[in-house]
Chain A
């Protein structure tokens, strides 16, 4: 059997064994509805509130400031639409970046169709938003700034403390999508100065189908889901108790394991160094301001999907920004925003490391990749 190496942790992670164990009772014997008054319900409520505390602890927030949702995407939708709808009378202008996740970008596009105005800020070739650009984009009608903490594709970490400071000075709510950074790098809502922050459980060894939104006290949001008034009337719907309990456990573990980032950074740098030995290969993103687990490299003359398929045949799971692997046949908007040409964006590979990866895994990828790249370059008319 070929060995299986998973290097796509920014797509999703395996549920940690301890997380799974924590969740299991809440599917069966502890199945109560947290809204019920009898002991079975109270038991579920208690577990859910403990999970809320743990998620809050991961980001230095207060428990009351955490709302559980169904995904990171929902958290982003709730933050952006909820705030926009609530503040429509104050203004109609939103500032974001051109490299956000689609959960933010497409929400902003939707709001444009509803009469809002959105500024999409450019990024440097390393994928950095310039805080001066944020400042320049602010108008008296600006009601929200939403800039991601770390990019899911190229791993660039944004100067969100500076942007947060700016937002605070101008008294404009600031939202950040922290789905990729949480658990990978330290995160504190007060240091960043955010009003809203989105999280996703399955990016940090928790289950799929659970997200959270941090809402700073005093930040008003219009709910998107109306119903029984769950989650302080901001997100109705019976809570996903097993998922939330799992998220809590995963958040607790993530905080404990933050020091392991140093080890993962070491593996990342070893991977980048090894892969860049291949001729005509280049690092995408920022050399230093990048997530500890992200290596994104582009190879001239060849296309990403065919690299992914070849890697898969060798037991390695990674991803690409190539159009051919996407449903839209459009190359990654992030790579294009960093100034890459279409054909350059097509040839990009993303490896995202996790706790399970070892130096051996890295060595295997470094030794396997040149053969794949050469084989595809032999077929390519672009490689001369």
Chain B
């Protein structure tokens, strides 16, 4: 009897049930804060950068199952990537990695990509790299 999960892939449910990389990075090199609790989604992405690579990525999210799953997914995807590679991750990449999202939840994958990109932007601004 899965009342609500029919719209979600097994992969979404798996990430939702066991989210990866949850938490804050105290001495983060960049933080991306996107979304708005008024709309029901708020994502904070923390990154640690070493030698132009994402050494660590963590998140904190207020939101629905899809918001939590996309946050978890993007941290897993981005970890170990160069900044350039990470900036190329699109919402479609996140949705595809999760075996798809219900159409109405696609904005969550948008938010995850935006969050990561915002964190990288923050890092670049802090370090003066453009």
The residue that A312 contacts in the complex, of B5, B37, B66, B68, with Cβ under 8 A, is B5
Contact pattern, B 42-81, Cβ under 8 Å of A = 1, otherwise 0? 1110000000000000011111111110000000000000
A12-64 contacts to B (CB < 8 Å): none
Taking the closest CB of chain A, its distance from the CB of B76, in whole angstroms, is 15
Q: Could you say which of A95-103, A201-209, A215-223, A298-306 contacts chain B? A: A298-306
**Cα distance A331–B38 in the bound complex, in angstroms:** 9
Q: A303-B64, A324-B64, A325-B4 are in contact. Are A342 and B16 (CB under 8 A)?
A: no
The residues of B that contact A341 with a CB separation of less than 8 Å are 38
Q: Is the CB–CB distance between B22 and A306 below 8 Å?
A: no
Closest Cβ neighbor of B8 among chain A residues: A309
**Cα distance A39–B30 in the bound complex, in angstroms:** 81
Q: How large, as a class, is the contact surface on chain B?
A: 20 to 34
Q: Is the CB–CB distance between B40 and A379 below 8 Å?
A: no
Q: A306-B63, A306-B64, A309-B5 are in contact. Are A382 and B104 (CB under 8 A)?
A: no
The residues of B that contact A4 with a CB separation of less than 8 Å are 1
Q: Is the CB–CB distance between A312 and B2 below 8 Å?
A: yes
A299-322 contacts to B (CB < 8 Å): 301-303, 305-306, 308-309, 312-313, 317, 322
Q: Is the CB–CB distance between B62 and A302 below 8 Å?
A: yes
Q: Is the CB–CB distance between B37 and A342 below 8 Å?
A: yes
Q: Is the CB–CB distance between A381 and B40 below 8 Å?
A: no
Contact pattern, B 90-104, Cβ under 8 Å of A = 1, otherwise 0? 000000000000001
**Cα distance A323–B38 in the bound complex, in angstroms:** 10
The residues of B that contact A342 with a CB separation of less than 8 Å are 37-40
Q: A305-B65, A308-B4 are in contact. Are A329 and B40 (CB under 8 A)?
A: yes
The residue that A331 contacts in the complex, of B17, B19, B40, B59, with Cβ under 8 A, is B40
The residue that B65 contacts in the complex, of A8, A309, A382, with Cβ under 8 A, is A309
The residues of A that contact B68 with a CB separation of less than 8 Å are 306, 379
Q: A303-B62, A343-B37 are in contact. Are A309 and B16 (CB under 8 A)?
A: yes
A-B contact number at CB 8 A: 85
**Cα distance A312–B63 in the bound complex, in angstroms:** 17
Q: A308-B4, A323-B40, A342-B39 are in contact. Are A313 and B64 (CB under 8 A)?
A: no
Number of interface residues of A (CB under 8 A): 28
Q: Is the CB–CB distance between B104 and A327 below 8 Å?
A: yes
Contact pattern, B 103-129, Cβ under 8 Å of A = 1, otherwise 0? 010000000000000000000000000
Contact pattern, B 1-20, Cβ under 8 Å of A = 1, otherwise 0? 11111000000010011010
Is A358 located at the chain interface by the 8 A CB criterion? no
Taking the closest CB of chain A, its distance from the CB of B39, in whole angstroms, is 7
Taking the closest CB of chain A, its distance from the CB of B115, in whole angstroms, is 11
The residues of B that contact A225 with a CB separation of less than 8 Å are none
The residues of B that contact A313 with a CB separation of less than 8 Å are 17
Q: Is the CB–CB distance between A381 and B64 below 8 Å?
A: no
Q: Is the CB–CB distance between A378 and B22 below 8 Å?
A: yes
A275-318 contacts to B (CB < 8 Å): 301-303, 305-306, 308-309, 312-313, 317
**Cα distance A70–B21 in the bound complex, in angstroms:** 50
The residues of A that contact B3 with a CB separation of less than 8 Å are 8, 308, 312, 317
Is A380 located at the chain interface by the 8 A CB criterion? yes
The residues of A that contact B44 with a CB separation of less than 8 Å are 381
The residues of B that contact A152 with a CB separation of less than 8 Å are none
Closest Cβ neighbor of A345 among chain B residues: B40
Q: Is the CB–CB distance between A317 and B1 below 8 Å?
A: yes
**Cα distance A379–B23 in the bound complex, in angstroms:** 7
Closest Cβ neighbor of A381 among chain B residues: B60
Taking the closest CB of chain A, its distance from the CB of B118, in whole angstroms, is 14
Contact pattern, A 349-384, Cβ under 8 Å of B = 1, otherwise 0? 000000000000000000000000000001111100
Closest Cβ neighbor of A377 among chain B residues: B62
Taking the closest CB of chain B, its distance from the CB of A138, in whole angstroms, is 36
Is A346 located at the chain interface by the 8 A CB criterion? yes
Taking the closest CB of chain B, its distance from the CB of A76, in whole angstroms, is 25
Q: Is the CB–CB distance between B1 and A381 below 8 Å?
A: no
Q: Is the CB–CB distance between A382 and B4 below 8 Å?
A: no
Q: Is the CB–CB distance between B65 and A306 below 8 Å?
A: yes
Q: Is the CB–CB distance between A379 and B61 below 8 Å?
A: yes
Q: Is the CB–CB distance between A305 and B64 below 8 Å?
A: yes
Name 9 interchain pairs, CB-CB below 8 A, sorted by A: A305-B65, A306-B68, A309-B16, A324-B66, A324-B67, A327-B104, A378-B23, A379-B68, A382-B42
Given contacts A323-B39, A324-B67, A331-B40, 14 further A-B pairs with CB under 8 A are: A303-B62, A303-B67, A306-B65, A309-B65, A312-B1, A322-B64, A324-B40, A324-B63, A324-B64, A324-B65, A329-B40, A342-B39, A380-B62, A382-B42
What are the 8 closest A-B residue pairs judged by CB atoms, nearest first? A324-B64, A381-B60, A305-B64, A343-B37, A342-B38, A381-B44, A380-B62, A323-B40
